[in-house]
Amino acid sequence: MDSGSAIDRQAFDFLARAAGLNVDDPHMEELFPYVQNALAANEGLRNIDTSGFEPEASFDSAHFYQG
Amino acid sequence: MEPLELCYMSAGELSRLIRDRQVSPVEVIDAHLARIEATEPTLNSFITLLPDHAREAARRAEAQIQAGNYRGPLHGIPVGLKDLFNTAGVRTTSGSRVLDNFIPTEDCTLAARFQQAGAILLGKLNMHQFAYGPTGENFDYGHMHNPWNPEMVTGGSSGGSGSAAAAGQCTITMGSDTGGSVRIPAALCGIVGLKPTYGLVSRAGLTPLSWRLDHPGPMVRTVEDAAITMNAIAGHDPADPATTTRTVPDYTAALTGSVEGLRIGIVKEYFEAPLDSEVETAVRAAIAQLSELGATVTEVSLPMFADAQAISGTILMSEAAAYHRDLLARDGDKLTPSVRLRLEAGLFVTAADYLKAQQARARFNYEMSQLFQEVDLLAGPSEPITAPPILATEVPIGDRTVGTVGALTQYTRPYNISGTPAISVPCGFSQAGMPMGLQLAGRAFEDATVLRAAHAYEQSTGWHLQRPPV
């Protein structure tokens, strides 16, 4: 699945179903463009060079600053 | 003493009078309740007001102090808590009618610590629904209004905390900060807002927005009051696994009035982003003032500032959606439409992108740690603009028009990513009379240094002494 502005309606509907949303709800017509914009706003994330960095899944800020 | 003077006294000043029995907690609470009655129709700071509880607690505090059992600087001090802090027996709505009848059976750790210190809870403060928005608009309980101009937003999400402290409705308020929700309303309402180091202040019993970005913090009128509050609330809590086991210092002892020897870095990228010229002038003047006071000021660079939105946005969206997933399924159609959309959008972030954001966060934190080898503090604007009009979705900055949400979180998000302490302290007023804030940020667990510098700056100015016209 490609995220960002490239998300198309088919992918949106697939993920919406997987998330338990009712894809027949008229609300989806509002949600679809919102999701497109929201993911597009974060698209730059993929261009960040993160080689050598593990995910901060267990975050402890002290880990980084103890001299 | 005039009731209004009691309302605008700092906790530091008020506590000395209470301790010396020159003022009774009953007088203090009565003055604040009268102030709330007079200003609440304009401001709408509170979701739930507790006048009977507060008067009873004040009488109890008065009796204790008369009997020689003075508990310390928060004894008899009026406090307000953002309405996502659980309070036993008092409804806690998180700013949503969906939780209108939710009455917790236990206090959150911070409410318990305030109570233990003898503080008096005046009520639960209005907020952006589920803390998911930086403006302080609330369609369920009414919008919050800025005391400096009620047509303008307070900022959010802790908007009621900002207006209540700025207008003298409470001496101390508490907010929570996931992308700026303490510092944004602090800057826009002209008060002090501290986002402490992640893990220094317990989140136990607070409705989460994002587990790895949420930071509770004090919103007050002086830096000394932020330090006094931190002395009461900081430290390990077994109920919050993220809290530190480090020894917590006396934060008031750090307020030496001196910045001599401190190295302050101005992040050049902050001034390349959209920034109102009046705000820029005020912030540069504030930094020059710190230099005159003895700090060494140099320019530094944080290239990943440009990535802060994507990193924190991805983490926030995913975690907020994960936490509120059941609520969305059950009551999605009862939520404020913009909040519902934000929450639902998080369901479309892939696990791979969430983990990529956490990887990027690690790199961001590494870069910031490198900066903190060169300098002790980072300085810049808290906000690129003064408070915009209520319900404005876009704001003009210079010759550009930018989205309100992005603008308001532009300078605050980086320190939610890093988890490092950051404070907003008043640094002037626009020609239209709206407050502006200077943001100072320090190394993790060096909150005392942040407070020290903010205090020295504050004491060299009179901005914190200004009162809103409300």
Rounded Cα distance between B232 and B116, Å, is 9
Q: Mutation test of the interface with chain B: which of A5, A22, A42, choosing the one with the most B Cβ atoms within 10 A?
A: A42
User: Which structure tokens are listed for B137?
Assistant: 């608009």
Per-position b or e across B261-297, b if 16+ CB within 10 A of its CB: ebebbbbebbeebbbbebbbebbbebbebbeebebeb
Residue A20: list chain B partners with CB under 8 A.
325, 329
Q: Mutation test of the interface with chain A: which of B359, B364, B377, choosing the one with the most A Cβ atoms within 10 A?
A: B359
Q: What is the enclosing helix (H) or strand (E) of B5?
A: helix B3-8
Three-point CA angle B260, B265, B269, nearest 5° = 160
What are the pLDDT tens digits along chain B (470 aa)?
899 999 999 999 999 999 999 999 999 999 999 999 999 999 999 999 999 999 999 999 999 999 999 999 999 999 999 999 999 999 999 999 999 999 999 999 999 999 999 999 999 999 999 999 999 999 999 999 999 999 999 999 999 999 999 999 999 999 999 999 999 999 999 999 999 999 999 999 999 999 999 999 999 999 999 999 999 999 999 999 999 999 999 999 999 999 999 999 999 999 999 999 999 999 999 999 999 999 999 999 999 999 999 999 999 999 999 999 999 999 999 999 999 999 999 999 999 999 999 999 999 999 999 999 999 999 999 999 999 999 999 999 999 999 999 999 999 999 999 999 999 999 999 999 999 999 999 999 999 999 999 999 999 999 999 999 99
CB atoms < 10 A from the CB of B81, how many?
33
Q: Are B165 and B154 in contact (CB under 8 A)?
A: no
Determine the residue of chain B that is closest to A11 in CA distance. Answer: B348
Q: List residues of B with catalytic annotation.
A: 82, 157, 181
Write the ipTM: 0.88
User: Which structure tokens are listed for B222?
Assistant: 């002086």
d(CA B335, nearest CA chain A) in Å? 13
Q: Are B67 and B59 in contact (CB under 8 A)?
A: no
CATH superfamily of B3-465: Amidase signature (AS) domain (3.90.1300.10)
Residue A39: list chain B partners with CB under 8 A.
345, 348-349
Determine the residue of chain A that is closest to B370 in CA distance. Answer: A65
User: Domain-by-domain residue ranges, chain B?
Assistant: 3-465
Residue of A20, A43, A60 with shortest CB distance to B199: A60
Total count of residues recorded for chain B: 470
**CA B167 to chain CA mean position, Å:** 15
Residue B355: list chain A partners with CB under 8 A.
55, 57
**Complete DSSP assignment for B107-145:** --HHHHHHHHTT-EEEEEE--SGGG--SS---TTT----
Residue A21: list chain B partners with CB under 8 A.
344, 347
d(CA B292, nearest CA chain A) in Å? 29
Query: B155: burial class by Cβ within 10 Å (0-12, 13-18, 19+)?
Result: buried
CB atoms < 10 A from the CB of A66, how many?
9
B345 with A7: Cβ contact below 8 A? no
Query: A34: burial class by Cβ within 10 Å (0-12, 13-18, 19+)?
Result: middle
3-state SS, chain A, equals CCCHHHCCHHHHHHHHHHCCCCCCCCCHHHHHHHHHHHHHHCHHHHHCCCCCCCCCCCCCCHHHHCC
Beta-bridge partners for B426: B437
Residue of A16, A38, A64 with shortest CB distance to B444: A64
